Amino acid sequence: MPLGTLDRRPPPFFHQGPSALTRLAVFSAVALFLMAADTRFAVTRPLRSGLQMLLLPLERVLAVPLQLTHAGGEYMSGLHAAQAELSHAELALTAQSAKAARVDTLTAENTRLRALVDLKPGLVVKSVAAEVLYEASDPFSRKIFIDRGASQGVVPGAPVIDEAGVLGQVTRVYPLSSEVTLLIDKEAAIPVLNTRTHQRSAAFGADGAALELRFMAGNADVKVGDVLQTSGVDGIYPPGLDVARVVKVDPRADSSFARIALAPTASADGVRHVLVLEPMAMQLPPRPAPESDAGKDKDKDKNAKPAKGGRK
């Protein structure tokens, strides 16, 4: 075989091409160019969007088992929570039913007792809902203004309460608004009843933030934690409204009266809506007018018996 016809090229195994370092440099440059072009001109964004559309059904199919597992876990946890809430609601309903039965029994018993002793039924207190407008700017008093006045039937002296208890008393009435003096004002006072001992006393505003019981003997039966409510004997406040709670009792040795600090149950800080009650005196019968001295003397003369031996 002639030598000129021999293939002198190396076999394919020895075809190495460019070196590894050269290829690394070229591919790195291409990658940097593509990243820069994609950031600057969004060259590959259509490609990524198309690829995402093609792979979306596959992603949905692969996510089904995970979603089923997650949904099953949530269903079981929600089922257990619902069963626990149902049990709690059933217990609360049972307790409420028992309480309602006791209330009905006590109401019927109260009605029978009142009928037995021929007492009048309890007075129904009228109320007007109001919203707090603002607090008075006077630094030496604690007063608020509400958006109900004489046009809505508010009268001076009307009690003002919220969901916690007695808040104060209406002191000034305008056509469309009213001024309410809070119980913690230094000029405020309210008759109270100790629910534990049923002892009547009077609570006074102390320092614009608390109340105090005054003129209580040093050995008075008052303890920390006692709840004070309205007594209802003043003709203003309905009985049974929460007023304050005893927080400190200091039987001072230098005085015959104890120093008793109270915390009001109703706070004016943050309150937005209140109820204005009609004073109890407006529903009570009028007091009989006192008899004059001349009338008493005339009645005595009429009832006087004539002396023996006197003229007829």
* Mean pLDDT value across residues 4-9: 62
Phi, psi (deg, nearest 5) at residue 65: -60, -40
Picking from 170, 242, 233, the residue whose alpha carbon sits closest to that of residue 211 is: 242
C-alpha distances in Å from residue 210, one per residue of 69, 181, 263, 304: 58, 14, 6, 59
Question: Cβ(160)–Cβ(131) under 8 Å?
Answer: no
For residue 291, the model assigns a pLDDT of 66
This model's pTM is above 0.85: no
C-alpha distances in Å from residue 297, one per residue of 91, 227, 266, 304: 71, 49, 53, 10
Q: Does the 127-282 domain belong in CATH 3.40.630.10?
A: no
* Mean pLDDT value across residues 233-259: 87
For residue 59, the model assigns a pLDDT of 85
- Ramachandran region, residue 213 (left: φ > 0; alpha: ψ -120 to 50; beta: rest): beta
For residue 309, the model assigns a pLDDT of 44
Picking from 280, 279, 265, 272, the residue whose alpha carbon sits closest to that of residue 166 is: 265
Tell me which of 9-23, 47-61, 176-190 is least confident.
9-23
Average pLDDT, the chain: 83
Q: Is 80 exceeded by the pLDDT of residue 126?
A: yes
For residue 299, the model assigns a pLDDT of 55
For residue 217, the model assigns a pLDDT of 86
- Helix boundaries (H) for the chain: 20-41, 45-116, 293-303
Q: How far apart are the first and last CA of the chain?
A: 191
d(CA 106, CA 114) in angstroms, rounded, equals 12
For residue 9, the model assigns a pLDDT of 65
Picking from 274, 248, 278, the residue whose alpha carbon sits closest to that of residue 260 is: 248
Amino acid sitting at position 42: A
For 93-125, write each residue's pLDDT tens digit. Answer: 888 888 888 888 888 887 777 776 665 555 578
